[in-house]
Structure 1
């Protein structure tokens, strides 16, 4: 099986979108040449993987399955979130307290939190993150799966930064709907395509 991060290809033929890992010479639907009669809108395009290495994603909200990788994710199991530093570490909170990982977040979904031109915040980010993670509220004994968990840690840090910027705080509902759900929906669609291509070489759907 090809790695999840490689992405897949898509081309159109016979009124269908055809996903694959390699463009075939013959269309898997009609058996005719798949490459000689392309219009511009039917030509192959790359569908990039939605997964990124959280240790390379600076100043970001990162998300991954609590157990295992997205390749084994069933869509129902718990997800775990954290905040990345500028130096390859991911800070996250669970029942054993705060963790500062330099491994384990190589395949995750990322939400950038700092515009690339905000040099002041970028330079202060690690200090803010280290200070926030050191607060007593993130001791292991304070952990509660329902209302004081990894998401609480991440969102409260985001809102701490927003307060410093004199911006209003974000609710969990707003942040989830605005930033997280669009990315997890993309993951779900990508995983459906990826699994079909891995098992059957092609994933074929009617064009809308």
Structure 2
């Protein structure tokens, strides 16, 4: 119990400092002071600021991947499975909005091995997402006139852009936003126009 709380305290302190004053200008000393722990305690879990920045984002990546695995394991009609996956990734991205904002702003400062690990983990998720699109295309549900990579980029660009405009204090909650973005995406990838002529 104690061990988890030290790692959590350090991660939370780092997240807050990176968000308010930037990754580059935050020192390890400031992080441990804000967390109320010693440097030795921090270094037991994180070897560097680099490790901390990666850990902040890794929590979201791990959660989203485990949720994706669960949703796909349940099975079902391809469009409904994809709908559930899309809503989930948007909702969890909103839940981790501060983490995502800090990470994307500072990702270029990660060491090359850490950057490569993030790319590998995200590609793993995208590849699994792509299998759903591929299955839908094979079943004639999703369009095939646009490359699969473009369809996937279309969805995830919306997800990555959330931090630029979404506010938890805004008029729409995360579920409404997730359903709206998912609906727009699914309409755009359906075969035969995807209901673009509705209304």
What is the TM-score when the length of structure 2 is the normalising length? 0.28
Structure whose CA Rg is larger? 1
- Structure number with higher strand proportion: 1
